[in-house]
Chain A
Amino acid sequence: MRKMRYEAPTTLEAALALLSGANGQARVLAGGTDLLIGMRAGRVEPELLVDIKDIPEMVSIVAENGGFRFGAAVTCMELVEHEEFAKAWPGVIDGVRLIGSIQVKGRATVGGNLCNASPAADSVPAMIAAGASARIAGLSRKRETRVEDIATGPGKTSLAKGEIVTSFLLPRRPPHSGDAYLRFTPRTEMDIAVVGAGVNLTLDDSGVCSQARVSLGAVAERALLVPEAAAALIGTKVDAAALERLAAAASAACRPIDDKRGTKAFRFKVAGVMARRAAEVALARARKN
């Protein structure tokens, strides 16, 4: 086996310098739950691994402008166990909780789930619905972008060479807000989404939906933001008719493939069902705060 370098820098600047200075393929190591499997299978043969878990800003969860910023290398279990975060963003936690076993969640990160760019990643539709933004750093510049603009297709992202996602921001929530993520899998645990749907909505004081974001996973080459589905909810009391329009818009937004986990026809139908059910959960949560 070829020799592989390992570095664990303690600053972002050092990590970026290592990544851009590598001779061959350099890979970021966060939780490693995809990377180590790829290395073991011989699919990835990096020359350099840059472990980002010794960089404080990449492993912390902090309050920011009434919302939360968490590092790209924060583990799923750390998010699940963060009581204030979990209370504020239960839909994001729905997604994070569905990622693998307790053991996998003890290592896996939202940053990794996003940058691995699987269309079926469970945390990604939840983060998109939540309106999360990602901070991206490269040697020459830092930028902020929407989570939905990062994955471009299976295993592919819009990140330039040498750029890494450093953290995510979930904004301050207005009162009467709730979010939810649901997925369809043949079994309840330890499975990969056939269809996933995230809904995040806010009600005004009279119970009318004033803002909404809807996202779908595993029905296209990447997780989708579906503004048409959100529009079906805005201005309504999220009643049966609105939910039906939401479901129709969600189904219409799919561009799925047939694969061993589900057929196209099944995904079209189930995307609407999952979106409707996620909206019902989000609505119940919004009414409680």
Chain B
Amino acid sequence: MAKHHVTATVNGDVVEFLCETHQTLLEVLRDELGLTGTKEGCGTGDCGACSVTVDGRLMCSCLVLGVEAEGKAIQTIEGMAVGTKLHPLQRKFLEHAALQCGICTPGILIAARSLLERNPDPTEEEVRYWLAGNLCRCTGYHKIVDAVLDAAREMRGG
């Protein structure tokens, strides 16, 4: 059986790839498209390290098949900075030291951006609930939450 020929948009660029049915979107991003910013943590949808958006919807790319990406618009961490200009969330993560080993960081940034697109002024509680699907084993979350709230403040122009 031939591989699937899939055409999708990744970070605004039209991409084409070949994949087997069983390959996840995460595997396709990393192994076929060379976009290794999206990390594999658990591979079972529990940790959120592989978070991306598909047509604007936040999901774990390990729980999506590559073939399902046909015609979809996918956003990954590689599309977050514009050239060398970091997204405010990325800058605030650095300022607040909201990362240590960094494995969870791409997924948390993607998830946090998804939150701020829907809710530009979240409470701390709302940030914590929204990010409940992103596990971090280093930071204890406090600095992550601070960074997200600070980025939200800056993005609102406050």
Q: Measuring CB to CB, which residues of chain A are less than 8 angstroms from any residue of chain B? A: 1, 3-6, 8, 29, 31-33, 36-37, 39-40, 49, 51, 53, 75, 77, 100-104, 106-107, 189-190
Closest beta carbon of chain A to B27's beta carbon, Å: 11
Q: Do B48 and A5 touch (CB < 8 A)?
A: no
Q: Are A36 and B57 CB-contacts (below 8 A) given A6-B4, A189-B129?
A: no
Task: Check if B82 is an interface residue, CB within 8 A of chain A.
Answer: no
Please measure, in the bound complex, the distance between the C-alpha atom of A87 and the C-alpha atom of B42, giving whole angstroms. Answer: 35
B residues near A102, Cβ cutoff 8 Å:
58, 111, 114, 130, 132-133
Task: Check if B99 is an interface residue, CB within 8 A of chain A.
Answer: no
Task: Check if B100 is an interface residue, CB within 8 A of chain A.
Answer: no
Q: Are A103 and B21 CB-contacts (below 8 A) given A6-B4, A6-B67, A36-B65?
A: no
Please measure, in the bound complex, the distance between the C-alpha atom of A49 and the C-alpha atom of B132, giving whole angstroms. Answer: 30
Residue from the set A36, A37, A40, A100 with the largest chain B CB neighbour count within 10 Å: A36
Task: Check if B68 is an interface residue, CB within 8 A of chain A.
Answer: yes
Q: Of all chain B residues, which has the CB nearest A36?
A: B63
Could you list 5 examples of A-B contacts with CB < 8 Å?
Answer: A32-B68, A33-B45, A100-B45, A100-B133, A103-B60
Interface size range on B against A: 20 to 34
Please measure, in the bound complex, the distance between the C-alpha atom of A33 and the C-alpha atom of B24, giving whole angstroms. Answer: 12
Closest beta carbon of chain A to B118's beta carbon, Å: 9
Q: Do A106 and B57 touch (CB < 8 A)?
A: yes
Interface string of B29-65 (1 = CB under 8 A from A): 0000000000000011110100100000111101111
Please measure, in the bound complex, the distance between the C-alpha atom of A32 and the C-alpha atom of B24, giving whole angstroms. Answer: 11
Q: Do B1 and A103 touch (CB < 8 A)?
A: no
Please measure, in the bound complex, the distance between the C-alpha atom of A190 and the C-alpha atom of B134, giving whole angstroms. Answer: 11
A residues near B68, Cβ cutoff 8 Å:
8, 29, 32, 51, 53
Q: Of all chain A residues, which has the CB nearest B50?
A: A103
Closest beta carbon of chain B to A74's beta carbon, Å: 12
Q: Of all chain B residues, which has the CB nearest A45?
A: B22
The one of A8, A40, A75, A103 that contacts B51, using a Cβ cutoff of 8 Å:
A103
Q: Do B111 and A103 touch (CB < 8 A)?
A: yes
Closest beta carbon of chain B to A189's beta carbon, Å: 4
Q: Do B1 and A5 touch (CB < 8 A)?
A: yes
Q: A29-B65, A103-B45, A104-B60 are in contact. List 11 more A-B contacts (CB 8 A).
A: A36-B45, A36-B62, A49-B21, A51-B68, A100-B133, A101-B133, A103-B58, A103-B133, A104-B63, A107-B59, A107-B63
Please measure, in the bound complex, the distance between the C-alpha atom of A177 and the C-alpha atom of B8, giving whole angstroms. Answer: 45
Q: Do B63 and A190 touch (CB < 8 A)?
A: no
Closest beta carbon of chain A to B88's beta carbon, Å: 21
B residues near A100, Cβ cutoff 8 Å:
45, 133
Q: Do B21 and A3 touch (CB < 8 A)?
A: yes
Closest beta carbon of chain B to A33's beta carbon, Å: 5
Interface string of B10-23 (1 = CB under 8 A from A): 00000000001110
Q: Do B45 and A37 touch (CB < 8 A)?
A: yes
Q: Are A77 and B48 CB-contacts (below 8 A) given A6-B21, A190-B133?
A: no
A residues near B51, Cβ cutoff 8 Å:
103
Q: Do A101 and B21 touch (CB < 8 A)?
A: no
Q: Of all chain A residues, which has the CB nearest B53?
A: A106
